[in-house]
A and B are shown apart, each in its own frame.
Chain A
Amino acid sequence: MIETTLDIPADARNPVEPFLRMERMPHIWCAGCGIGTTVNCFTRALLKSKANLDKVAVVSGIGCTGRVAGYARLDSFHTTHGRAIPFATGLKLANPELQVVVYSGDGDLFAIGGNHFIHAARRNMDLKVICVNNMIYAMTGGQTAPTTPLEALTSTAPYGVSEPAFNLVSLAEAAGACYVARWTTYHVMQLSRSMEEALGKKGFCFIEVLSPCPTLYQRRNRMGDGLDAMKYYKEASKIRHGAPTSECSLSKSGEIVVGKFVDRERPDYCELLRAQMCQSLGERYAEPEVVCSR
């Protein structure tokens, strides 16, 4: 059997190896890319959370970040561009004992998939959404994302971006997320801690992770390599837990407000559904038994 406990084999080179499909290494990510760092934090969060890994599923969309699902040694789904959240919604509703984590990029979750994001947050669907925000469409070669800051250069905005970006944490809060945090790949301890907290919280949880894409964002914008991005994250970040999310917009080289902004209780989709059905149907209501028999 695959371990479901936290035993780490003696010959493991890295404590996160049991969580990864090592037979698929090396991964596709570039040197200096931040996505791997976030995966490291995520596996550590899983370790700490003592979750039964047989009951954790990862759902990704398409993009460099979308490849996370393919490396996680969990039930994992690499779906279509922008649609990880509605896939995850069906998975969770059919099989509520699963802990369903959506792991995807900023373009995937907030451009093509933006509608699904706000509706899942509104419903307070019990999903943990991790967005790796590299401020760019990386997989397709560095095009403008709805998160690319003003003036930044991209392959489709060669003279600089002129449209305002989304403030993801504010959007998530306004749409109804019950947990909202932002970190950078510099803040590995805090990020891992936030992921662990989200795994322990019911309802729609959102974590934004600023992450460098040296290949397609940093380089074109003369911002150096992955290490330079770490230095920038270190110097420009201010931890302000509970900061009003509306004041947490990001810019090309300005301050980065990080921290846990929202941690509130709201009944989740399944609780609300059950309450409404019991009120309307009383005894006649049958608890969902969705899984088909063998």
Chain B
Amino acid sequence: MHADPKGVLTGVHFMDGDHACCEGALAAGARFAAGYPITPSTEVVERFAARIPTIGGIFIQMEDELAASIAIQGAVWGGAKAFTVTSGPGFSLMMEHIGLAAMTETPCVFVNVQRGGPSTGLPTLPGQADMMQARWGSHGDYGIIALCPNSPQECFDLTITAFNLSEEFRVPVMMMLDECVGHMTEKVVIPEAESIEVTPRRYTKRSPEEYRPFEPQEDLVPEMVKAGDGYRFHITGLTHDERGYPDMSVGTQDRLVRRLTEKVKPAGDGRALYETGDLDDAEVAVVSYGITSRVAQRALQLARARGIRAGKFRLITAWPFPERQIRELAGLVKAFVVPELNLGQMVYEVERSAAGKAKVIPVTHAGGTVHNPDVILDAIMEAVR
């Protein structure tokens, strides 16, 4: 299905990542947003609040992030495509409702423009230390999808992808920006609506008598309905059977939780998004994402200039982690260098996927600014030593 032209601001723009993210949401068909102001993410909803009344939709500033993160889910069950936007402390408050969305298989998008933490931390400065929280932050076992743009253009493109994946897999999708990417202003090309693919909601064609709200289809994802259409369905955060009714049996729990985790795996396996460069002859691969990937790019140039065979693997899909790709690469390179604006998060995934076949060197940073490329270069040189 093509994007609805009403939401598509076709043209060549000069805009920051936060604004581009909002445009991506509009192009993807989001007509409902709920938010609570927090730096450095607020620009996304400020733009939505300015744009939506002439497009036809709702923005509501809620009383807190708990409210925002569940208002969007009410809107989704009412039939909307919906998202919320936050940063650090607000992301922490949203955790219970990320779990609710995972459990009730509610397609929606959470944008987190990461700042330095923990707690109030560095409100106006970058961090990448919410990566594990995005994956594991809510209690219990469940699967999610998380994407990491590294430019305003990607904030636009990947927000559309995020909405599409959320509909396809019926899962909450995290857009993991960082303050630098959110606030950097660059060229953003927004294409014509006809060239933007939008994934429609997986509405059932079955009658109310035949329909079972949580009966998995072949790809493990159940079909959806919305309120008001005569299905008289029930949605609960309790463990539930295929009818959607609470069932506290161990068997039902096992089937449900395994399915919620399994169903998103294809998004990280064959279909993970990533960018590679100069890996053909590489002895060392730099694995990075978000703003750090742009600093790493400089370090890679410096390394090549010194004759070091270094290449890049840029994570775009962070979760599900592209395990297979890293495993294969581990057979080809001597070492991975993993710079990130945290004290080591995605590096554990690289280490796990490399399974001892290649050395893994973290380049940590507590956040507040970006790495000095020389520090990454040092790690690359250490890797080939």
> A interface vs B, CB < 8 Å?
1-2, 4, 21, 24, 53-55, 57, 59, 69-70, 73-80, 82-83, 85-95, 97-98, 115-116, 119, 277, 281, 284-294
Task: Report the number of A-B residue pairs with Cβ-Cβ less than 8 Å.
Answer: 184
Q: How many residues of B contact A (CB 8 A)?
A: 57
For B227, give the chain A residue with the smallest CB separation: A75
Q: Please, how many angstroms separate the alpha-carbon atoms of A54 and B72 in the complex?
A: 22
Q: Please, how many angstroms separate the alpha-carbon atoms of A86 and B75 in the complex?
A: 10
Q: Please, how many angstroms separate the alpha-carbon atoms of A119 and B60 in the complex?
A: 12
In the complex, chain B residues whose CB is within 8 Å of the CB of A70: 234, 236, 245-246
B235 at the interface (CB under 8 A from A): yes
Interface residues as binary, B205-218 with A (CB distance below 8 Å gives 1, 0 otherwise): 00111000000000
Cross-chain contact B57 with A90 (CB below 8 angstroms): no
For A95, give the chain B residue with the smallest CB separation: B78
In the complex, chain B residues whose CB is within 8 Å of the CB of A287: 56
Q: Please, how many angstroms separate the alpha-carbon atoms of A89 and B61 in the complex?
A: 11
Cross-chain contact A90 with B227 (CB below 8 angstroms): no
Known contacts A21-B234, A90-B60, A95-B80, then 9 further A-B pairs from the complex at CB < 8 Å, ordered by chain A residue: A54-B230, A55-B228, A73-B232, A78-B238, A83-B70, A89-B62, A91-B78, A284-B54, A286-B56
B378 at the interface (CB under 8 A from A): no
Cross-chain contact B100 with A288 (CB below 8 angstroms): no
For B201, give the chain A residue with the smallest CB separation: A292
B71 at the interface (CB under 8 A from A): yes
> B interface vs A, CB < 8 Å?
1, 4, 6, 29, 31-32, 34, 53-58, 60, 62-64, 66-68, 70-82, 96-97, 100, 200-201, 203, 207-209, 226-238, 245-246
Q: Please, how many angstroms separate the alpha-carbon atoms of A288 and B78 in the complex?
A: 13
Per a CB cutoff under 8 Å, which of B29, B55, B73 touches A87? B73
Per a CB cutoff under 8 Å, which of A1, A69, A89, A277 touches B71? A89
Per a CB cutoff under 8 Å, which of B34, B74, B231 touches A59? B74
For A24, give the chain B residue with the smallest CB separation: B245
Cross-chain contact B58 with A291 (CB below 8 angstroms): no
Asked, given contacts A80-B96, A86-B66, whether A289 binds B31 with beta carbons under 8 Å apart, the answer is yes
Q: Which of A85, A93, A98, A287 has the most CB of B within 10 A?
A: A93
In the complex, chain A residues whose CB is within 8 Å of the CB of B80: 90, 94-95, 290-292
Q: Which of A21, A73, A77 has the most CB of B within 10 A?
A: A77
- The minimal Cβ–Cβ distance linking B214 to chain A, given in whole angstroms, is 14
- The minimal Cβ–Cβ distance linking B75 to chain A, given in whole angstroms, is 4
- The minimal Cβ–Cβ distance linking B160 to chain A, given in whole angstroms, is 14
Per a CB cutoff under 8 Å, which of B4, B82, B203, B233 touches A75? B233
In the complex, chain A residues whose CB is within 8 Å of the CB of B54: 281, 284-286
In the complex, chain A residues whose CB is within 8 Å of the CB of B237: 78-80
Instruction: List 25 A-B pairs, Cβ < 8 Å.
Output: A1-B209, A2-B232, A24-B245, A54-B228, A75-B77, A77-B236, A79-B237, A80-B70, A83-B70, A86-B62, A86-B66, A87-B73, A90-B34, A90-B70, A90-B75, A94-B82, A95-B80, A98-B227, A115-B67, A288-B31, A290-B31, A290-B57, A292-B29, A292-B79, A292-B201
- The minimal Cβ–Cβ distance linking B94 to chain A, given in whole angstroms, is 11
Cross-chain contact B234 with A76 (CB below 8 angstroms): yes
In the complex, chain B residues whose CB is within 8 Å of the CB of A289: 31, 56-57
Cross-chain contact B234 with A78 (CB below 8 angstroms): yes
- The minimal Cβ–Cβ distance linking B361 to chain A, given in whole angstroms, is 42
In the complex, chain B residues whose CB is within 8 Å of the CB of A281: 53-54
Q: Which of B63, B200, B209, B226 has the most CB of A within 10 A?
A: B63
For A278, give the chain B residue with the smallest CB separation: B53
In the complex, chain B residues whose CB is within 8 Å of the CB of A55: 228
